[in-house]
Amino acid sequence: MVAPESESATAAAGVGATAAITNRPVALVGVLVVAFVVRLGVALYVPNVHFNDEIFQVTEPAHRLVFGTGIVTWEWLVGIRSWFLPGVFAALMAIGRWFGETDPTIINLPAAIMMAGLGCFPVFCAYRWAAGLYGRRGALVAAVAAACWSDLVYMSPHTLGEVVAADLLILGLYFGYPDGSGAASARRRLIWTGLLLGLAFVCRFHLAPALLVAGVGICGRHMSSWRRVAFAASLPVLALGLLDWVTLGRPFQSIWLNIWYNVFEDVSHEYGTDPWWMLLAILASIWAPVLPILAVTIYVGARRMPWIFAVAAAILATHSGFAHKEYRFIYPAVPLLIALGGLGTAAIIAWIERRLPSGVTAVIATTSAILIWPGMSLLVATQPLMTPSWTREAGFMAAFSEIDHHFEVCGVATNHSVASPGNTWLRPQLPLYQINLVDISTARFAYASRAFNAIAASDLVQIADPRYRRLGCHSGNVDATGRPHLRICVWLRAGPCDTAAAPPREPYWPDYFRHRMGLPAFDWAPTLSEAGP
């Protein structure tokens, strides 16, 4: 671990190489453009939902801010979510509305562009880190690794706090890395480091232990560095506290009340619990086809930048200590590990060049690495554990897009609204209702359906009302064999909508709250009946 004011031997040796790279940024710009286009292309042409929090904790409340319609989940009713990310995406939706008016694709386009842009941060950081150590060839290899890696490409479009925090975190660590550019520059970099790490905390406060590890790696024993980083980091953090105070009623409520419910009251346990090693097992399973190669390259890269690995390890260790575990929780560690893998690959190429010093050897080694990384990424992306992720809820998204093409639609019903892409994927002011389409009497359906004239539900759901005609069905949640587990069909009826007949908006309450409200435990049967086995 080194402090920014000290010039490590490694950084000093890399100054000349860094300058050369800075003067010829064509390779960096080219890789960044490719990375951006790939990420934006996935967002637009391979839409899916990794986890419904990206909709109902971010874009759906943003949609509600801009257009007045949106599903409200229990987290917002009890006040354990910050309005920071929804506020950012609301501003982007307002820009999209200016261009697209009522087209949800255009309305959501600025957000997709921003997420694709943020997803390029790991590519930039990997390139610049490798440039200072191994020159242009090594930088190109490291950048290609980060640009094409399947986890980064897949997660980039998803508007989760973990994803935004991951991109901000790695850029903050990059600014904290000493590059021998002088004390004044180092001081400016520390300010940027603090701001970015503070923003990462705002997006994902669970990263606090890892951010502390990052601070130790960047500042060491230099109190002046700590003061600069802490001051800059405090600005977004204090802004979060003020935002919570204004919007939720108490400073930092989205943090401490969230911890209270999920840690001390065990609300998160209702979503599943796992042993401490599960997150490591998930990561190893996803990367299984290429795990030996990844392990070697990450190890070699970690030897050159151990504090980057320490931050990734802190993320893994912190979340392994909580009972409820999901892959997305540890995603901020993934760009760091892949950047280290690219750096390790560059180091191996440099080692080969030293032992076989010829231009041909350098070209062959570099070209092989540039081809091997996309090949490994493709293996990971198409293996059985990852294949379903690319189509998760894609049927719902396609069904909502079809509904949007029918301008006579004045209300939409679905069996389980929080499994859908919500109002985010419908045109503004088009109400979305949740109604039990599996166990509902004919009379009750006839009355409630006056509020909507479109239905999006599984093909296992049969709509007996003769006023409705079934249009197309759209496949999603496809498994490794290509068999869809969920087909969402669209039903339409002619005629207007009467909002007075709308079914009540009843959010899904976890059993912790249902018990205190005197309600029975949540009945998952309608949801399972719709989704099928």
Q: For the segment 152-207, what is each residue's pLDDT rounded down to a tens digit?
A: 999 999 999 999 999 999 999 999 985 444 555 788 899 999 999 999 999 999 99
DSSP string, 355-417: HS-SHHHHHHHHHHHHHHHHHHHHHHHHSTTTGGGGGTTHHHHHHHHHHHT-TT---EEES-G
Average pLDDT over every residue of 477-482? 78
Alpha carbons 157 and 119: distance in angstroms, whole number? 8
**Are the C-beta atoms of residues 276 and 282 closer than 8 Å to each other?**
no
pLDDT at 529 over 60: no
pTM value is 0.92
Tens digits of residue pLDDT in 352-364: 999 988 888 889 9
pLDDT at 4: 41
Whole-number pLDDT of residue 18: 41
Tell me, what's the pLDDT at 10?
38
What are the structure tokens assigned to 391, written together?
């189509």
In 177-222, alpha helices (H): 183-203, 208-219
Check pLDDT > 60 for residue 11: no
